[in-house]
Chain A
Amino acid sequence: MASRVPITVTVNGQRHVGDVEPRQLLVHFLRESLGLTGTHVGCDTSNCGACTVHLDGDAVKSCTVLAVQADGANVTTIEGIGSESDLHPMQEAFWEHHGLQCGYCTPGMIMAAADLIAKNPDPSETEVREALAGNLCRCTGYHNIVKAVLSAAKATSGQEVTL
């Protein structure tokens, strides 16, 4: 067993101190050490994006980040952006526009979409589709996901979305 490394990570505003194997993936640290199971694993190769979280404000695939690389960082997971009684606008939009079916890719998809909107508040449909190309969904055919993201983006400016 490899020696363990102490890390301090702030996740959803809560400071956590842990001892991890140097090879432990951030996604496993979140899911298994912290019990934040909203972040999912869907592939072994960073293709599906079900594990997407925000690391110091940027969307990353937490299956491709080592827990030790998050030492000293701020991580936000799906559990940290809103709650059932206080939904994030992106969560609200996914619900309203039926942007999810089985729900497995959804947390990663919402985190990737929230990152897009934070950086590009008024994306085109093509920009949304390209920004989400690293997040796979097998249920929705993406139509309603794209609609949800555009709607969340336009909500503040009061524009209508037709798709």
Chain B
Amino acid sequence: MTAVEANGKWVGQALRRKEDPRMITGRGNYVDDMIVSGMLYMHVVRSSEAHAKIVSIDATGAREHPGVYGVFTAEDLDIASGLPMAWVPPGVEIKTPEHWPLAKGEVKYVGQGVAIVLGSDKYGVVDAAEEVLVEYDPLPVVVDPEKALADDSILVHEEFGTNKTHEWSIGGGDMDAAWQEADVIVERRIVNHRTAGSPIEPRVCLADFRGGSLTLHLTSQNPHLIRLFMAGEFEMSEDRIRVIAPDVGGGFGVKISHYPEEILAAWSSKQLGRPVKWTETRSENLSSTIHGRDQIDYVKVGAKRDGTITGLECKAIADFGAFYTLLTPFIPAFTGFVISGCYKIPNLSFTAIGAFTNKMATDATRGAGRPEATHLIEVMIDQLAAELDMDPLELRRKNFIPKEDFPAEVAIGIVYDSGDYHGSLDKLLTHVDLDAFRSEQAELRNQGKYRGIGFSTWMEICGLAPSRVVGPSGVGLQAGFYESSIVRVHASGGVTVYTGTAPHGQGLDTSFAQIVADRLGITPDQVDVQHGDTGTGPFGLGTYGSRSLAVGGESIARSTAKVAEKAMKIAAHQLEAAPEDMELADGKFSVKGSPDKGMTLAEVAGGAYIPENLPEGMEPGLEETTFYDPENFVFPFGAHACIVDVDAETGKIDISRYVCVDDCGPAINPKLIDGQIHGGVVHGIGQALYERIHYDDEGQLVTGTFVDYALPSAADVPSFETDRTETPSPVNSLGVKGVGEAGTIAATPAIVNAVIDALRPLGVTYIDMPLSPQNVWAKIQEAKGSAVPPDPGKQGGSFDEHGSGSAGSGPTSPSEGGGL
């Protein structure tokens, strides 16, 4: 019997979400909403110094504060191991510092935990924490990664004798040949500055240790891995720990990692015999939740006069901060995996060099290494086009991997699954009349108005991941990357799906239900999707890296197919037909051509659970499990265009149009895809124009609140025009690719290229992000040869600390001058 064919009734529909009714009525269930009897509040006393010896900690006053149950420091903590970092690259020496939940003897960044205070009153515990007196003996500080890598640098970790963490490379071809064959070589230093993922829900945990078991409610993107780590730290069997991620208010990568506070809350709960809750403030979120990006890319690209690219080389200096979180040093490797972009480049070389600095750790935030790659590639393509005096789109087309080459192996040895890069660009240009734009642009320039257009033809690698490729003997991550699912049909015909993914806004309850409904002849309303609770479903790897649909969804599709196959056998048996004469049609497992001779899923389930008439040897019940490990990654792609107006007097940028054509394979739910693209692009706009995590030269965090760290608001961004092409992936049966990070991966170079396009008449040929008015204005002045006054937003340091001055421009306010 062949596999039961999905009926295609629900997949592809722009259904509204099953998740929404509780959320729009204020009945969501987030961790901070939970209050448990006897619960204590935890407050973390954090370092005010970027680098200092801890001389003494005097908690006398805090301990005497009414309602305080305990004050603890690193000396009190008796846990078996510190915070994990999951990458052990074969053949690469990597310096990995011990990372404990509270500082031991020395602090190395502002915001590092020094002590915890536990108390019964939410406000009182903060009062008490004010009375924990920490005496510091300040040490010299290094915040600039390139200065940190100099031989005579101040050391973040004395024991290593260097701030260099490791050097990791990937490449293919022959770089000498690449430069010899090139008629033109362009080199740039591209700063991809530090940002914060900034989910609107900060991190929260509620730990309850009782009867030798731990229950931890946590704002997590991967509760199963957290359970595994905590089992090690507390030397417990995993089955005694239950980690639950209920509704999670956004993640953007920052809720992947394992953090000190969840260990501290669990340890305190065990110590004090009370449930313990910790709720992060936004200031703590900006100082002590992982940051993203912070990569300085030295890029060199060569091409023949006709535009044929001969080679691309990138040396990335990655600022990791003082300690690693779960994946810190691995993130730049992701840049390397897609260093070929959409292009056929015979010679490639990518090297990542990591640096310790006295800052918070960087780790995965939306896109994790791929936004950096797209940015540097797509900006360099435009830079090269200018050097060649060639149309940037013609240059792209000339070097695109053609559709017929897929699956296409690029020079670094990675095989792209499917693609149609010409197709997405062509479709984009049906929405953007480039000729009309150019004449309008010329007209405006005559009036002294600067409008520009920029493109980004992007691709990425996602659907993490084939375990054999990224696992311990492959790239070196110490985990598998399959995804689990159980599809359980209840006796009455309702369906519960357990997934190992951990959605936090993606709408998987809905899209997964659509996949299941089609394969069982029911409606999505009849499918309940459960996730985020280690006490229910099988071990799963969580939601990040645009993996949930391509890996988790495929796992569910496979479990559902197995259920459908069993259901078909039961129906065939009871209808006295041969299984090969059966089909799933109109909600019934029925005899082909005889729709009245069929059974609904509920009828089949009844038969499966009251097993009076099952085929010989068949087990009762109707549920199936799958652990799906993909054969390859998936490679989404697309083409974005951005049109900007730049006020040359003030440097202010206004995005007047943003058009996207994206391809993530066949749509399961187009509404959700568009939503991911909108949000992803605004995340990219945020980095390009407004957001920047900024430490001063003393390592003080200048952008420690949302007053200073400027997330874009509705008033700062346009509405979007979205369209799609659908190129199925051969990797999974759904043909799907990820879309959660796509917009962010695509957006920044489109914006930067547009701004450069606008300002070329003024002599501006290159600019780094963030494109704050200050930065843009300064760049215009510089191009005019005018003296540029020092940036008032930059504390200390030279204007040019990060090359172009962009990274030196201080906090920007997106709404400033926005007419608000």
Residues on A facing B (Cβ under 8 Å): 1, 21, 23-24, 28, 31-32, 35-45, 47-48, 50, 77-79, 82-84, 87, 91, 94-96, 98, 100-107, 110, 125, 128-130, 132-147, 163
Contact of A139 among B281, B505, B720 (CB under 8 A): B505
Enumerate 26 A-B pairs (CB-CB under 8 Å) in ascending A order.
A1-B121, A21-B123, A32-B35, A37-B30, A40-B201, A41-B279, A42-B200, A44-B281, A47-B705, A79-B26, A84-B21, A95-B21, A98-B16, A98-B675, A100-B24, A101-B506, A101-B507, A102-B200, A102-B248, A102-B504, A103-B24, A129-B714, A136-B711, A136-B713, A138-B252, A141-B720
Residues on A with beta carbons closer than 8 Å to the beta carbon of B636: none
Rounded to whole Å, the gap between the CB of A111 and the closest CB of chain B is 10
CB distance B200 to A137 under 8 Å? yes
Residues on A with beta carbons closer than 8 Å to the beta carbon of B157: none
Interface size class of B (residues with CB under 8 A): 35 or more
Within 8 A of A (CB), among B635-691: 671-672, 674-675, 677-683
Residues on A with beta carbons closer than 8 Å to the beta carbon of B719: 125, 143, 146-147, 163
Within 8 A of A (CB), among B239-269: 247-252
Nearest chain A residue, comparing its CB with the CB of B28: A103
Rounded to whole Å, the gap between the CB of A112 and the closest CB of chain B is 10
A39 to B714 alpha-carbon distance, docked (Å)? 20
Within 8 A of A (CB), among B503-521: 504-507
Nearest chain A residue, comparing its CB with the CB of B711: A136
Main secondary structure of the interface of B (DSSP, over half): loop
User: Is B717 close to A, CB under 8 A?
Assistant: yes
Rounded to whole Å, the gap between the CB of B473 and the closest CB of chain A is 36
A131 to B216 alpha-carbon distance, docked (Å)? 39
CB distance A110 to B124 under 8 Å? no
CB distance B250 to A102 under 8 Å? yes
CB distance A103 to B19 under 8 Å? yes
Nearest chain A residue, comparing its CB with the CB of B283: A44
Nearest chain A residue, comparing its CB with the CB of B27: A38
Residues on B with beta carbons closer than 8 Å to the beta carbon of A47: 705-707, 711
A129 to B26 alpha-carbon distance, docked (Å)? 23
Residues on B with beta carbons closer than 8 Å to the beta carbon of A35: 35
CB distance A130 to B21 under 8 Å? no
Rounded to whole Å, the gap between the CB of A92 and the closest CB of chain B is 8
Q: Top 10 nearest A-B pairs by Cβ distance? A: A38-B26, A104-B249, A102-B505, A103-B23, A141-B678, A78-B26, A141-B682, A101-B505, A47-B706, A37-B33
A28 to B121 alpha-carbon distance, docked (Å)? 12
A42 to B198 alpha-carbon distance, docked (Å)? 10
CB distance B282 to A45 under 8 Å? yes
CB distance A84 to B25 under 8 Å? yes
CB distance B200 to A133 under 8 Å? no
Residues on A with beta carbons closer than 8 Å to the beta carbon of B818: 133
Given A24-B123, A133-B714, A137-B200, do A103 and B249 touch, yes or no (CB 8 Å)?
yes
CB distance A138 to B679 under 8 Å? yes
Residues on B with beta carbons closer than 8 Å to the beta carbon of A98: 16-17, 507, 671-672, 674-675
Within 8 A of A (CB), among B249-302: 249-252, 279, 281-283
Given A1-B66, A42-B200, A83-B25, do A140 and B675 touch, yes or no (CB 8 Å)?
yes
Given A28-B122, A140-B678, do A106 and B250 touch, yes or no (CB 8 Å)?
no
User: Is B405 close to A, CB under 8 A?
Assistant: no
Nearest chain A residue, comparing its CB with the CB of B504: A102
Residues on A with beta carbons closer than 8 Å to the beta carbon of B247: 102-103
CB distance A105 to B26 under 8 Å? no
User: Is B20 close to A, CB under 8 A?
Assistant: yes
User: Is B32 close to A, CB under 8 A?
Assistant: yes
A95 to B671 alpha-carbon distance, docked (Å)? 11
CB distance B122 to A104 under 8 Å? no
CB distance A143 to B720 under 8 Å? yes
Residues on B with beta carbons closer than 8 Å to the beta carbon of A106: 23-24
Rounded to whole Å, the gap between the CB of B588 and the closest CB of chain A is 31
Nearest chain B residue, comparing its CB with the CB of A77: B26
New A-B contacts (6) at CB < 8 Å, excluding given A32-B35, A98-B672: A48-B200, A94-B20, A101-B250, A103-B23, A104-B250, A128-B714
Contact with A along B574-601 (1 / 0, CB 8 A): 0000000000000000000000000000
Within 8 A of A (CB), among B138-154: none
CB distance A43 to B705 under 8 Å? yes
Nearest chain A residue, comparing its CB with the CB of B15: A98
A36 to B27 alpha-carbon distance, docked (Å)? 9
Given A84-B21, A129-B714, do A101 and B32 touch, yes or no (CB 8 Å)?
no
Contact of A142 among B35, B717, B819 (CB under 8 A): B717
User: Is B436 close to A, CB under 8 A?
Assistant: no
CB distance B707 to A45 under 8 Å? yes
A79 to B24 alpha-carbon distance, docked (Å)? 9
